[in-house]
Structure 1
């Protein structure tokens, strides 16, 4: 299995909980400083952070899998088959490595651009039936090497989906929910967070406004995007708004 589940660090977990609930997500885990919210497609984890710290307002790219060891094996096999039929040296670099994180065993995926992310074991596998069926969690990988990022996501089993433009972008979906985007960017590779909505944005805009989160719709080249004030606004790493894009029709 593969599910999108980025981790967002914030000192404003209460405001984020209100926003995610207004978006139609459902809280499925609450362990104080660790809270998980399910959409109908993908999850988002909130991790407590000290106000004003380097972590406050930062999102970390991440996924969930069913069996961490098997996921690592399949990822390394996929990379091997792409590059060479020869068996790698035992001490040679591998794109997927089993690691012990503070929350348990995980698999670290390393990409050619120096970017890495964790695949954690899913705590539960069921899709939340009470979540808004149109909402999906989007994890974004900004990179100066989009081709390398694309190959890495193919190795982990992400599914490419067509995009209506031909620039340096790539869209993927995960088998068990969520969207992964690759976007060309200068500077060090980094993560981003957003959402996607399969339907008109006006009803969602009204719902957010009623919950105390004024939002505005921006018309863009390939669809509309809803922008709502970021609960972390003012933190060192926080963009001004959280975006929810209208799912683009595929040709």
Structure 2
């Protein structure tokens, strides 16, 4: 199995709790400083950190899988033709995991899934999107193929790549200069105006931007008070693109 499960660090966990609930995700694990939210496709974890923590307002690209050893074996077998072994079983502060490292030096964790089924009460149109910004997007895309992500058509230029995870969520590769980094967003399979109204009613006004291949909602980031270059001003929810 493979599911998108990015990890977001924040000192404003209650604001994020309200935002994700208004967006249509459902809290399925935890109620303190570690909370797991289900969408219809993919999960998002909130990890509370103190105000001023260098991780505050950042997101770690991450996935969850079934059997860690089997996932590592299959990933390395897929990459063997390149002479690469990108997956390594590791012990981290929260337990056993698998670390995947791309040719650009970017690494992310695959954690064992605590439960398999997505929450049926989540908004059925919403998906969690984890983004890998890389100076070598082609190599990053190959790594995601090795872990079992499924390519999907992308109308953008050749340096971008979109993938779906078999058990929910979307993984994206986007070109970027400098050090590789991760990002967070959402995708909505339907008209954005009702979602915009729902967010506004919950105290999260959003603006709609018309783009070449669809519309995108931009909502004020609950972490906006974190004054750091790595913290974006808004959280985006893109309209799912119909591929002709």
Give 1:165 deviation, angstroms. Answer: 2.5
1:198-217 correspondence to structure 2 within 5 Å: 198-217=189-208
- Alpha-carbon distance between aligned partners in 2 of 1:31 and 1:211, rounded to the nearest angstrom: 20
- Alpha-carbon distance between aligned partners in 2 of 1:215 and 1:167, rounded to the nearest angstrom: 30
Q: 1:247: which partner in 2?
A: 240
C-alpha RMSD over aligned residues: 1.0
Q: State how many pairs are aligned.
A: 242
- Alpha-carbon distance between aligned partners in 1 of 2:212 and 2:225, rounded to the nearest angstrom: 29
- Alpha-carbon distance between aligned partners in 2 of 1:167 and 1:218, rounded to the nearest angstrom: 23
Q: Gaps spanning 5+ residues in structure 1: where?
A: 85-92
State the TM-score, normalizing by the size of structure 1: 0.95
Q: 2:135: which partner in 1?
A: 144
The worse-fitting range, judged by mean Cα deviation, of 26-35 and 147-156 is: 26-35
2:32 alignment partner, SS class: coil
Give 1:83 deviation, angstroms. Answer: 2.2
- Alpha-carbon distance between aligned partners in 2 of 1:167 and 1:77, rounded to the nearest angstrom: 26
The worse-fitting range, judged by mean Cα deviation, of 48-57 and 129-138 is: 48-57
Structure 1 runs, 4 residues or longer, greater than 6 Å off: none
Q: 1:90: which partner in 2?
A: none
Q: 2:43: which partner in 1?
A: 43
Q: 1:163-200 deviations in whole A, cap 9, x for unaligned?
A: 11233100000000000010001010000000000000
1:3 alignment partner, SS class: strand
- Alpha-carbon distance between aligned partners in 1 of 2:56 and 2:156, rounded to the nearest angstrom: 34
Give 1:31 deviation, angstroms. Answer: 5.1
State the TM-score, normalizing by the size of structure 2: 0.97
